[in-house]
Amino acid sequence: MSTTKTINLKNRPKGKPELSDFDFTTSEVPELKDGEILLKTTYVSVDPYLRGRMSDAESYIEPFELNEPIVSGCVAEVLESKSSNFSSGDFVTGMLEWKEKQVVNAENFRKVDPDQAPLSAYLGILGMTGLTAYFGLTDIGKPKEGETLLVSGAAGAVGTVVGQIGKILGMHVVGIAGTDEKIEMIKSEFGYDEGINYKTTENMAQAIAKACPDGVDVYYDNVGGEISEAVLFNINKFSRTVVCGAISVYNNTELPKSTSVQPFLIKKSSSMQGFVIFDYKDRHPEGIEQLADWLQKGKLHYEETIQEGFDNIPQAFLDLFEGKNKGKMLVKI
Ligand SMILES: NC(=O)c1ccc[n+]([C@@H]2O[C@H](COP(=O)([O-])OP(=O)(O)OC[C@H]3O[C@@H](n4cnc5c(N)ncnc54)[C@H](OP(=O)(O)O)[C@@H]3O)[C@@H](O)[C@H]2O)c1
């Protein structure tokens, strides 16, 4: 019988997560039963939302249990199969425990084709973050040609895709990110018209006004906090804010003192709507089809930051909070 390493949640992080919040154990891989497949993990997606599952506060998804494996989106190779749907050598995607190898019920996995797209793409542009960008912008942002789209977290997995979709739809697109290199990247590789480095800008409200001379019609918010407060001073009449993520406050230990959004929304008849990508579960195939079509036609590009090695998964996760990724952060095993 073979063994596998597993990464468990050791402590519920207080503030910023640390390596000591995770631990590694080794266990035996069980024998396969009918309907099961034995998987070897190939790529692991690390995502900001996992921070929420490490806390036991009530949320839209169950918290991780202490001393149990972390789970995230992964691509894996089928080593053995007792399912008629899969053969050894196939690649699948789905939610997997952070293990090198594991036996799972085949029903919960979808085959992916390495000849259609690189395997890593099924965790980014053709996976959860691509779909989040697509449905958040098109369904909640209700974008119109000629409008101004402002995106925070613009150089990340979701943000790079949102900006490109905005350009496909004929918008003026402005991005906010944390380094000059990222600003250069979103403009030269992803078609953003303007960019603002929030770490070197003293007055964000003024900088947004300058980059968005006609005001902001759609704000795609990946970060929340002070950046999003500055956006409020620039929203247009009937503007829409897509509340996708709030990474700037995920590690807060106290409720922040924040600006009241209501007067801004009232004055501008503006709306703000949160969402989780699971809300669109039934429409995922439609989203994948559109994203794959744009990819194939060369209208969409994607960037990845790929770290290597099973033992480096926790560090790759921590690096998201330091902005060390461009595009989708993944770990190749
Ligand atoms: N609603 C949903 O269903 C859904 C689905 C997927 C993702 N999300 C959310 O969408 C957001 C983006 O997710 P992603 O997977 O695409 O991650 P990502 O943007 O690829 O990675 C996180 C990025 O956040 C930025 N960041 C970190 N700390 C920050 C801070 N204090 N203030 C401002 N920016 C900070 C960093 O870039 P900089 O260098 O620019 O700081 C970092 O690279 C996250 O908030 C995530 O939780 C929501």
Ligand 1 center to 55 CA (angstroms): 18
Specify the ligand 1 atom closest to the Cα of 325. Answer: 43
- Residue 177 CB–ligand 1 contact under 6 Å: yes
pTM of the model: 0.98
Q: Tens-digit pLDDT profile for the chain (333 aa)?
A: 799 999 999 999 999 999 999 999 999 999 999 999 999 999 999 999 999 999 998 888 899 999 999 999 999 999 999 999 999 999 999 999 999 999 999 999 999 999 999 999 999 999 999 999 999 999 999 999 999 999 999 999 999 999 999 999 999 999 999 999 999 999 999 999 999 999 999 999 999 999 999 999 999 999 999 999 999 999 999 999 999 999 999 999 988 888 899 999 999 999 999 999 999 999 999 999 999 999 999 999 999 999 999 999 999 999 999 999 999 999 999
Give 123's Cβ-side CA count (13 Å radius).
30
CA angle at residue 236 from 234 to 238, to 5 degrees? 145
Phi/psi region, residue 269 (left: phi>0; alpha: psi -120 to 50; beta: rest), is left
User: Helices 157-168 and 284-296: crossing angle, nearest 10°?
Assistant: 70
Specify the ligand 1 atom closest to the Cα of 132. Answer: 5
- Residue 195 CB–ligand 1 contact under 6 Å: no
Both tokens of 68, joined, read: 């149990």
Provide the 3-class DSSP secondary structure of residue 176: strand
Pocket probe mutation, ligand 1, options 223, 242, 249, 278, max atoms within 8 Å of Cβ: 223
Ligand 1 center to 61 CA (angstroms): 18
How far apart (Å, rounded) are the C-alpha atoms in residues 249 and 226? 10
- Residue 132 CB–ligand 1 contact under 6 Å: yes
